[in-house]
Amino acid sequence: LSVAAYLTVAFATLAPAAGADEATVCPPVVVGEELRTVPELVARNGKLQTTFSVEMKTLCVPVQNGGQWIGTPMELRTYVYPDPATGQLKWGFPGPTLRVRKPTPPAKHGDSWSILLVNQLPPDSGHVCESACPAGTQCPSDVNQLPDPTKCPSNKDPLCCCWVDRNQTFPDCFHGDNTTNLHFHGTHVSPQPPQDYVLLELRPALPAGKLPADEHAVHRGGIIAYGQYQYAVDPLPETQAEGTHWYHPHKHGSVSLQVANGMPGALIIEGPFDDWLRGYYGGTLVEKLLVLQEIQAATNLYADTAKAPPTLVNGQVSPTVTMAPGEVQRWRFVDATMKGTSQISINFPAGVTVKQIAMDGVQFARENYQRQPLFDPANPSTFRISPGNRADFLVQAPATPGTLNVTHEVVAEVAAEVRERLKARDEALAPGAPLAPLVRLRVREAKPQGEAKEEGAAAVATGFPPVDQWPPMPWYLQDIPPNQVKNQVNLIFSMADHTGAPSGQGNPATMFFINDIQYDPDCVNVTTALDTADQWNISNTSPLAHPFHIHTNPFQVVRNGTTSYQAPYVWQDTIGLPTGTPEAPGSVELRQRYLEFTGEYVLHCHFLGHEDRGMMFGVQTVCKDDPTKFGQAKADGSPECVPGNLIPAAPQCPTSTDPSPAAAASR
Ligand SMILES: [Cu+2]
């Protein structure tokens, strides 16, 4: 289907249909249905081409109410896209899986993809902070008339929301709800337009004949577009780690809302490691993609919308995966969420053998396949995952038929009230059980051989690859040696109120900082040089395990809190920071190198409400020999830092000279 033809179809469906305002009746929620396969868009002849039209649709979301699960209609932003098989339009959560391939050497170029992003949403507030207060709230201007914010989590004073409004400064607030863009999380591609470009503001289309009357300065280097924008990612380089990645909207100020609406989808990049693994199992290895989401219609801090929504898997409540006795499957988890209630431990039950094979879409080195360093050593069947993380496992079913629960438990610090709701939610999922099932693993009866033959049943994958057959890491995933580290980058994630006092969960006066400052789109906070490596020392002085995420290049985790890892280190692109206090911060040590791509991108907290509210930094990778320049992205993968191809780098943001966040907030 050509883009033009598709647009005709899309616009045709937008015409108001008869009975359009009839109330949506949702079908009953069936808990424990077989895990569904998310629709896929697959690259053909080296290219994946599609259109994502962002629209408001009424979608049915499972919501727990007492012991009941009720399909509840919600108005949600969603990608409407054509199904390549039928040409029919589809939408819903999660978004469609994009499946592409990286090059297999000696080939230099893998698949490319292009997505025409069309914004069909109604107009929004643009560059104005949304109020956290219900309409009609009269906030006193005298701060002394505001309630004590530390008491707000319990006393629910209606003026508590005024603290949010008072302490927020544009652009570090919820704003521009219907402005969007795209981020390809986990990809090693150019951050420049029109590739993994998150500084875009794609606003709703203007009415016909109306010109953009935008009085706001286009932020330096940032593109403001109306109605549609063509994303086009160059052919993947060999240095792209194959694996389980994902995509989601990343427009500062509305990231959390649009992710909570369920827009993200998986982006699976295949390559030689997958070929090897499938070959090992003789083509019998079954793969399951499990996209974790929590769907909310609003993220307004004072909107009472599903404060403890269920963690859905492919849009389902506790779906079932059916396996043959002793069968091994590859499970790809994507934590496609935005807040603490999906910072969870996944607990595999006794009888199920699990081996992690990749983290954040990067394959494990042989030593880590053997050591399994990311399972809790005290509880080796427990795996912790944060919003933004992906994890791939080989899962072996027990030999005996029956159903086992893969359970989950929220590990993040959450407000007491949310904890209560979570308890009720878990009780509704599994009455009397200590932990609620995330996924049910059903081991079917082994069929008698004759019957299997009659059905033409395929052989199933069994056993695990022996360690000595595990493939070596490719050259670009070799460890970053300490003697190659050029600079130390030091970051402190903190939460504090307007006086600079450390502030906690549920306190409406809380502001979110990195190095005592908030995100400023007009400059960058960290400048790195192409073809060099840095050590990143990241501390956390707050009681929340903010998931640190950086775009464009993965990092190696050398130390996480009190756990120092052995080389070779695991590659990740998102890591929950250990919690701490200003006196005793939690911290991690990471190493990162910057290959091939120059330009401007970001690092941020993947509790996306914190990101929208300022816990983000601008980052750029500049030319090694000229830190004032970067190069224009080159589709053929040739070096960017060459004469005639240079563009000015971004200015450096001022650093905080007064360490008090109060001073930072007033800057
Ligand atoms: Cu955070």
Query: What is the per-residue pLDDT for 14?
Result: 33
Q: What is the Å distance from ligand 1's center to 380 Cα? A: 27
In three-state secondary structure terms, 350 is coil
Q: What is the Å distance from ligand 1's center to 606 Cα? A: 6
- On the question of pLDDT at 349 being above 90, the answer is yes
Q: 10 Å Cβ neighbour count for 287?
A: 14
Q: What is the Å distance from ligand 1's center to 185 Cα? A: 17
Distance separating alpha carbons of residues 36 and 316, to the nearest angstrom = 8
- What's the mean pLDDT in 490-502? 94
- On the question of pLDDT at 328 being above 60, the answer is yes
Alpha carbon distances (Å) from 410 to 245, 385, 510: 23, 10, 22
Query: What is the per-residue pLDDT for 424?
Result: 82
Which tokens sit at 75? 């108005």
CA nearest neighbour of 62 among 97, 24, 27: 27
Q: 10 Å Cβ neighbour count for 32?
A: 17
Strand order in the sheet with 526-529: 526-529, 616-622, 599-605, 547-550, 574-576
Structure-token match 């109060």, residue found: 662
Query: What is the per-residue pLDDT for 458?
Result: 65
Alpha carbon distances (Å) from 406 to 283, 293, 429: 26, 16, 13
Which tokens sit at 69? 């699960």
Distance separating alpha carbons of residues 518 and 255, to the nearest angstrom = 16
Phi/psi at 228 (nearest 5 deg)?
Answer: -155, 155
Q: What is the Å distance from ligand 1's center to 547 Cα? A: 6
Q: What is the Å distance from ligand 1's center to 502 Cα? A: 14
- On the question of pLDDT at 605 being above 80, the answer is yes
Q: Ranked by mean pLDDT, which of 384-393, 409-418, 445-454 comes out on top? A: 384-393
CB 62 within 8 A of CB 317: yes
- On the question of pLDDT at 508 being above 80, the answer is yes
The residue that leads in pLDDT, 424 or 549, is: 549
Indicate the range of 15-19, 46-50, 328-332, 519-523 predicted with least confidence. Answer: 15-19
What's the mean per-residue pLDDT of the chain? 90
Alpha carbon distances (Å) from 541 to 584, 585, 648: 7, 5, 35
CB 163 within 8 A of CB 508: yes
Evaluate the omega torsion of the peptide bond into residue 194 and state whether it is cis, within 30 degrees of 0: yes
Q: What is the Å distance from ligand 1's center to 613 Cα? A: 9
- On the question of pLDDT at 113 being above 60, the answer is yes
- On the question of pLDDT at 452 being above 80, the answer is no
In three-state secondary structure terms, 620 is strand
Helix-strand-coil split of the chain, %, nearest 5 = 15, 35, 50
Q: What is the Å distance from ligand 1's center to 585 Cα? A: 15
Query: What is the per-residue pLDDT for 301?
Result: 64
The whole model's pTM is what? 0.93
Q: What is the Å distance from ligand 1's center to 55 Cα? A: 28
Q: What is the Å distance from ligand 1's center to 546 Cα? A: 4
Evaluate the omega torsion of the peptide bond into residue 171 and state whether it is cis, within 30 degrees of 0: yes
Q: What is the Å distance from ligand 1's center to 528 Cα? A: 23
- On the question of pLDDT at 402 being above 90, the answer is yes
pLDDT band at 370 (very low <50, low <70, confident <90, very high): very high
Q: What is the Å distance from ligand 1's center to 450 Cα? A: 57
Q: What percent of the chain has pLDDT over 70?
A: 90
CB 330 within 8 A of CB 392: yes
HSE of 176 in the Cβ direction (CA atoms, 13 Å)? 26
- On the question of pLDDT at 450 being above 70, the answer is no
Distance separating alpha carbons of residues 608 and 216, to the nearest angstrom = 25
Which tokens sit at 515? 């190095």
Query: What is the per-residue pLDDT for 20?
Result: 39
CA nearest neighbour of 94 among 318, 267, 308: 267
DSSP 521-589: TTSBSEEEETT-EEEEEEEE-SSS--EEEESSS-EEEEEETTEEPPSSPEEESEEEPPP--SSS-EEEE
Secondary element (H or E) of residue 661: helix 661-666
Distance separating alpha carbons of residues 362 and 571, to the nearest angstrom = 6
Query: What is the per-residue pLDDT for 667?
Result: 42
Phi/psi at 475 (nearest 5 deg)?
Answer: -55, -35
Distance separating alpha carbons of residues 364 and 26, to the nearest angstrom = 43
Chain centroid to Cα 53, Å, comes to: 20
Q: What percent of the chain has pLDDT over 90?
A: 76
- On the question of pLDDT at 376 being above 90, the answer is no
Q: How far apart are the first and last CA of the chain?
A: 51
The residue that leads in pLDDT, 135 or 250, is: 250
- DSSP E strands, 360-435: 362-363, 382-385, 390-396, 402-410
**298-317 residue pLDDT tens:** 886 665 555 568 899 999 99
Q: What is the Å distance from ligand 1's center to 549 Cα? A: 10
The residue that leads in pLDDT, 561 or 220, is: 561
Q: What is the Å distance from ligand 1's center to 494 Cα? A: 8
Q: 10 Å Cβ neighbour count for 612?
A: 30
Distance separating alpha carbons of residues 40 and 95, to the nearest angstrom = 9
The residue that leads in pLDDT, 220 or 289, is: 289
Q: What is the Å distance from ligand 1's center to 608 Cα? A: 7
pLDDT band at 431 (very low <50, low <70, confident <90, very high): confident
Indicate the range of 28-32, 369-373, 421-425, 434-438 predicted with least confidence. Answer: 421-425
pLDDT band at 4 (very low <50, low <70, confident <90, very high): very low
- What's the mean pLDDT in 476-503? 94
CA nearest neighbour of 497 among 171, 268, 163, 214: 163
Instruction: Tell whether the torsion through CA atoms of 163, 167, 170 and 172 is positive or negative.
Output: negative
Distance separating alpha carbons of residues 228 and 624, to the nearest angstrom = 35
Q: What is the Å distance from ligand 1's center to 338 Cα? A: 10
Query: What is the per-residue pLDDT for 219?
Result: 60
Distance separating alpha carbons of residues 622 and 650, to the nearest angstrom = 9
Q: What is the Å distance from ligand 1's center to 17 Cα? A: 42
Secondary element (H or E) of residue 454: helix 449-455
Q: What is the Å distance from ligand 1's center to 576 Cα? A: 9
Q: What is the Å distance from ligand 1's center to 18 Cα? A: 45
Q: What is the Å distance from ligand 1's center to 605 Cα? A: 5
Q: What is the Å distance from ligand 1's center to 144 Cα? A: 28
Q: 10 Å Cβ neighbour count for 170?
A: 10
Alpha carbon distances (Å) from 446 to 203, 323, 459: 55, 10, 12
Distance separating alpha carbons of residues 658 and 475, to the nearest angstrom = 44
Alpha carbon distances (Å) from 252 to 165, 248, 306: 17, 12, 23
Q: What is the Å distance from ligand 1's center to 647 Cα? A: 33
The residue that leads in pLDDT, 214 or 177, is: 177
The residues, any chain, with a CB within 8 Å of residue 85's CB and separated by 6 or more, are: none
- On the question of pLDDT at 5 being above 70, the answer is no
Distance separating alpha carbons of residues 448 and 288, to the nearest angstrom = 25
Chain centroid to Cα 434, Å, comes to: 28
